[in-house]
Amino acid sequence: MFLQFRLCRKWGLIPRCPPWSAGIMPTPIESHSLNSAHHTPFLEAPTVQASDGNFVLEPDGSLQQRSPTKIGPGRMGMNSQIIVKTTADEVASAVCEWLIEAIENAIQERGKCSIALSGGSTPKLLYEKIAENELHCVDWSKVALLWGDERNVSQDHEDSNYGMVKRAWLERAEATRQPRAIPQVYPVPVQTNAPDRTAHEYSETIRKVLGENNENAGSSSSASTLSISDRMAKSDLPKIDIVLLGLGDDAHTASLFPETQALQESENLFVANFVPKFEAYRLTMTLPLINAADKVAFLVCGPSKRAAIDVVWHGPRQVEKYPAQGIHPANGELLWFLDVAAMPERRQG
């Protein structure tokens, strides 16, 4: 029944929140194996054989990568996937589906879940969908929300990433007055005149919320010999369950901008990063922390992002110029959720 429910939810046959969440139990129906002659024919989605990859054509007409793919020289490992949807709204729906399942799995395995949120228009669509459809589908009281990056502005400022999430999602959750609908919220405590102090305090918050990841503790005596992007393998890094990221036209992600000091950071979890083109500080998680996560997902939409994705996937490896190239989880999954407009012409190396 569990497998059948998952398949039905994925293919849109029943709402994500099943009727029995409201106390109405389903009528038992026969369960079939996917290899059975009795299963619904459209579950056997045809494969689109393209010169640049092998994708599954889903019933809604979108493409999903059939098997993990290595894009470019060392860009993506075996635990990677690309999901391409027709529109930004469909991308947000796909991410929402994936996110809810990932949260459920984390809670089932560890009794809690941690998520690092992103700013941006596509993540905003995701948060709105959560507020509209998902407030009662998981126990949000067991979910800790962190921020992957933040502007150096007050929380009530229109540019605040926290403020955007609050308006799109959290206010509606709080309005329910139901504890299970309200996540644990840990916004960046921005002190506009003291960005370094803000970053230090939020680093401590991250460690307190997540705890130290000692499951695979070992000797760190050789840590200094590792490259910055490989420091995520150190045992003293806390592990976030899910990190959501966007991608800028210049290939920045979080607030890791090209040729900025934060790209060199190998010790701190969260830093104040001065961005010359804005003449302002941004506050951001660092590459080692992001790469220590269990799951990392990029949400990227629009034709303006096509060139950035192309250079991240296929361009020369220059993390200083193209910061998103530095994202490759050491022991986790990497997913790219794109709309058709953002998909580069060349998909695989």
Which domains can be identified in the chain, with CATH numbers? 89-213+228-293+316-325 (3.40.50.1360)
DSSP-derived letter for residue 40 is -
pLDDT tops 90 at residue 218: no
pLDDT of residue 345: 83
pLDDT at residue 77, rounded to an integer: 53
- What global pTM score does this model have? 0.78
User: Is the dihedral angle over the CA atoms 177, 179, 185, 189 positive or is it negative?
Assistant: positive
> Do residues 282 and 149 make contact, with C-beta atoms less than 8 angstroms apart?
yes
Determine the pLDDT at residue 58. 56
From the number of C-beta atoms within 10 Å of its C-beta (0-12, 13-18, 19+), residue 163 rates as: buried
What would you report as the CA-atom Rg of the chain, rounded to the nearest whole angstrom?
20
Query: Mean pLDDT for the chain?
Result: 80
Q: What is the pLDDT of residues 274-317, one digit of tens each?
A: 999 999 999 999 999 999 999 999 999 999 999 999 999 999 99
pLDDT band at 64; cut points 50, 70, 90: low
Residue of 290, 297, 322, 294 whose CA lies nearest to 308? 322
More confident residue, 101 or 226: 101
Is pLDDT at 330 greater than 60 in this prediction? yes
Q: Is the pLDDT of residue 341 over 90?
A: yes
Query: Three-state SS across 188-217?
Result: CCCCCCCHHHHHHHHHHHHHHHHCCCCCCC
Name the packing angle between helices 88-110 and 2-10 (round to 10°): 160
Position with higher pLDDT, 93 vs 236 = 93
Q: Would you say residue 195 has pLDDT above 80?
A: yes
Euclidean distance between CA atoms 222 and 68, whole angstroms: 31
CB 324 within 8 A of CB 308: yes
